[in-house]
Structure 1
């Protein structure tokens, strides 16, 4: 699927500000799942952009606006071709279930994926999270028979079916344990809960930010899922990293565009910065995702 995406972030300040220093993680990956054909970023007031790759391989653009200004606008535009999700062939995973769980428990896996196995501020492993991880398939146990991939599907399904999508229930600082008690949240919260459950079971998992296209499913109307979105990538022995969207209980395929990944949301905030001046600012973010016909 060929997708055209525009993402605009606009800040309006109540008074003049200066020395605004910002980081942007708005560049789509090119990998086995997607190819970025075109990408551009522009800033008003005009400022030079510098780029580098962070520890996780995300492309970061940085810029500074030193002179006084009352507005700041960041525009990102991209064209990406995506592919269908990779699934186990003939319904079988790359390793036998017992072998896969044993491989994840070995020192080699612990050393290789250390940063994606340790809990973070957002993905703390509370007793409630650990209990949730032990019964992913509505109370069913026996992960050796279920297999790692099957267990991940069960966790994603349980989160989507048992929790309510509610933009008013949580905020950007909500952690997995809090969302688990409230039983409601947004895509960021659902992703953090699934990551925490994965790490409780010794499955490497990382937080992914990007976009989810649903325009053709919604009659062309805008929807929260068509804006910025978050999901999970988990490591399945014998298969590699696989994407799961617990908000929609879906495999990550051609309707998804990945911008970056990290241990949790804090590692890959799309736009963040600091400035000197008034603390009063209005933020407006608009995202438009369209399918391009070849």
Structure 2
């Protein structure tokens, strides 16, 4: 499948700021499930650093504007050829050991409700494979947190989402990571794009899911929001310990000012 991406992010500041420094994870990772046909990231007026690959195998680029700034616009456009690998991340070179992803953050710390959810999902599964256990955890998260836009916000933790009893893809991914840690399985947060329209019509969606490391298979993606493993409708951008760590755009504003954010993501699909 060929997926075409148009992703625009604009920040407007009420009063000019002295400058902006951003770190971008906006270039798809290299792996067997996706191949870049064309790709560009444009930030008018900015100094673009060299694109480099970090220890997790993800592409990162530093961007800066050293002048009075009233707005910044990041435009991503590209075309990616995707194939279905049943969620298994193959051909992705990285140096960080899987056990490093047993470390939780404030956003992925398991509270009593998360521990109870994981333990209930795995009850009687002592002889099950790690793959079966991971699927059960993902299904349990999907059932426990119905998808409800607006139920949470960008800084909601896994524990807070469980208290709310609903959430969006970010919450599903972070709760699943916390559940995987309870089951002693390394897990991480993945950001990317999803074309959710089967007929290939334009669909507005950036997306997030979790990857769990399974002996014999390696990293396997689980999208609790859609009750599936990532397939040819997904583009993987980058990974991290949680939503903040894996964010496609992270930044520092020099000089305080009230800001507004506008994001538009459109994915179009075509069969090969």
Which residue matches 1:131?
A: 116
Normalization by structure 1: what TM-score?
Answer: 0.84
What is the aligned counterpart of 1:171 among 153, 156, 172? Answer: 153
In the TM superposition, what is the alpha-carbon distance from 1:57 to its structure 2 partner? 2.1
Residues 139-182 of structure 1: CA distance to partner in whole angstroms, max 9, x if unpaired? x6222333211121122222223322222221111111111121
Between structure 1 and structure 2, the one with the greater Rg is 1
Segments of 4+ moved more than 4 angstroms: none
Contact 1:27 1:60 in 2 (8 A): yes
* Partner Cα separation in structure 2 for residue 46 and residue 15 of structure 1: 19
Aligned runs of 1:196-211 on 2, under 5 Å? 196-211=178-193
Aligned runs of 1:110-259 on 2, under 5 Å? 112-136=97-121, 141-216=123-198, 220=201, 222=203, 226-259=204-237
Task: Indicate the structure with greater helix content.
Answer: 1
In the alignment of these two chains, the number of paired residues is 265
In the TM superposition, what is the alpha-carbon distance from 1:87 to its structure 2 partner? 7.4
In the TM superposition, what is the alpha-carbon distance from 1:66 to its structure 2 partner? 1.0
SS in 2 for 1:268: coil
Aligned runs of 1:67-78 on 2, under 5 Å? 67-78=67-78
Which residue matches 2:255?
A: 277
Residues 69-120 of structure 1: CA distance to partner in whole angstroms, max 9, x if unpaired? 21211111121111113379xxxxxxxxxxxxxxxxxxxxxx9433211221
Contact 2:201 2:269 in 1 (8 A): no
Q: Tell me, which stretches of 5 or more residues in structure 2 are unaligned?
A: 89-95
Q: From the superposition, tell whether residues 192 and 87 of structure 1 become closer, same or farther in structure 2 (CA, over 3 Å).
A: closer
* Partner Cα separation in structure 1 for residue 253 and residue 105 of structure 2: 27
Normalization by structure 2: what TM-score?
Answer: 0.90
- Aligned-pair Cα RMSD in Å: 2.0
* Partner Cα separation in structure 1 for residue 214 and residue 29 of structure 2: 21
Q: Tell me, which stretches of 5 or more residues in structure 1 are unaligned?
A: 89-110
In the TM superposition, what is the alpha-carbon distance from 1:244 to its structure 2 partner? 0.7
SS in 2 for 1:164: coil
Contact 1:15 1:277 in 2 (8 A): no
Q: From the superposition, tell whether residues 19 and 85 of structure 1 become closer, same or farther in structure 2 (CA, over 3 Å).
A: same
In the TM superposition, what is the alpha-carbon distance from 1:125 to its structure 2 partner? 2.1
* Partner Cα separation in structure 2 for residue 279 and residue 31 of structure 1: 40
In the TM superposition, what is the alpha-carbon distance from 1:30 to its structure 2 partner? 1.5
Please, which moves more after superposition, 284-293 or 182-191? 284-293
Which residue matches 1:102?
A: none
In the TM superposition, what is the alpha-carbon distance from 1:58 to its structure 2 partner? 1.5
* Partner Cα separation in structure 2 for residue 174 and residue 79 of structure 1: 32
